[in-house]
Amino acid sequence: MSGETNRPPSDDLASAAQEGRTDAAGAPAVFDEPSAVVQPGRKSLFREYLEAIVVAMLLAFAIRVFVVQAFKIPSGSMIPTLLIGDHILVSKLSYGIQWPSQCKFQATFPPVNCYASQALIEFGKPQRGDVIVFRFPEDEEKDFIKRIVGTPGDTVQLRNKTVLVNGIVLEDKSFTQRIDPGIIDGTINPRDNFGPVTVPDGAYFVMGDNRDQSLDSRFWGFVREEKIRGKAFRIYWSWSGQGQWTEWVRWDRFGKAIQ
């Protein structure tokens, strides 16, 4: 017997592996070379900014088309409810989820301009008293804002400035103004004496709150439902630009609800 101490073969394998010299049969041990880790190519700074801008533009376009859109009031046809220089938010979801139609491409932002919409999911119909933004029937490149006075099936009439809906006087003094005391004959101008007319299906009769200085359904007819862009619900900024510079911003109108 030799004086060597027998060790388990497993110990020899472990030793060989650790030393990296021989394997169990005494042959030189062969080890795989560590494979190189492929690093993904890093995006250039220009590409990162470009992708961020594209995503932001697409998100802004989607919000503008489906959720909410900002408008500026350029005229006094809705005084006293809305003043010239008011910036308002219009909800696209007030009446349902709308899918744009009658669209055309243009070389500005947004790159697509849509002139109508169809309801995918309907939440409700426009109601009398709603302040809405819509495509102006005589020039659909323009957006108008007015208040709904007559809904489908209603009969609307004006008698000496008084508005009647279905033969009942419309109580509108709390949100309208009439600055001209004179009365115009209906055969000359429909401002003060008009109708009666019945609002057809899928259409609305609208008027400005500044009754004596508003170009509305009395002059050019009804608004089709698919041409309504949304319901105005809040003033987020108001700028007069008149008087002393401290009065240019109408701070008291910030966040005011449109009723």
What is each CA distance from 213 to 192, 195, 208, 218, in whole angstroms?
11, 19, 8, 12
Give the residue from 175, 164, 165, 255 showing the smallest Cα distance to 208. Answer: 175
The per-residue pLDDT for 1 is 46
d(CA 36, CA 48): 27
Q: What is the mean pLDDT of the chain?
A: 85
Q: What is the CATH number of the domain that holds 172?
A: 2.10.109.10
Inside any domain, residue 26: no
Examine residue 191 and state whether it is found in any structural domain, yes or no: yes
Please spell the DSSP secondary structure of 66-110, one letter per residue: HTEEEEE--SSTTTTTS-TTEEEEEESSSSEEEEEEEEEE-SSSS
- 137 part of a folded domain: yes
The whole-angstrom separation of Cα 237 and Cα 254 is 5
Is residue 21 one of the residues assigned to a domain?
no
Asked whether residue 1 is assigned to any structural domain, the reply reads no
- Given a cut of 80, whether residue 34 has pLDDT beyond it is no
Lowest mean pLDDT among 20-24, 139-143, 161-165: 20-24
pLDDT value at residue 40:
58
Catalytic: 77? Answer: yes
pLDDT digits (tens, 9 = 90+) for 102-134: 888 887 767 788 899 988 898 999 999 999 999
CA 35 distance to own-chain centroid: 53
Band of residue 84 on the pLDDT scale cut at 50, 70, 90: very high
Q: How far apart are CA 126 and CA 256, in angstroms?
A: 21
pLDDT score, position 39: 55
pLDDT tens for each residue of 158-197: 999 999 999 999 999 999 999 999 999 999 999 999 999 9
Chain position carrying tokens 């009395």: 218
Residues in the chain: 259
In the predicted structure, residue 80 carries a pLDDT above the cut 60? yes
Specify the number of domains making up the chain.
Answer: 1
Dihedral sign for Cα atoms in the order 18, 24, 27, 33: negative
Residue 57 clears pLDDT 70, i.e. is over it: yes
Q: Are 216 and 118 in contact (CB under 8 A)?
A: no
Side by side, the strands of the sheet bearing 194-198 are 168-169, 162-165, 155-159, 194-198
Does 88 reside within a domain?
Answer: yes
pLDDT value of residue 178? 95
The answer to the question of residue 7 being in a domain is no
* pLDDT exceeds cutoff 50 at 12: no
Domain of 229?
45-253
Contact (Cβ atoms closer than 8 angstroms) between residue 217 and residue 136: no
Among 92, 146, 227, 231, the one annotated catalytic: 146
Q: Indicate the range of 32-36, 130-134, 135-139, 200-204 predicted with least confidence.
A: 32-36
Give catalytic status of residue 146 as yes or no. Answer: yes
- How confident is the model over 193-233, as pLDDT tens digits? 999 999 999 999 999 999 999 999 999 999 999 999 999 99
Active-site pick, 77, 94, 117, 238: 77
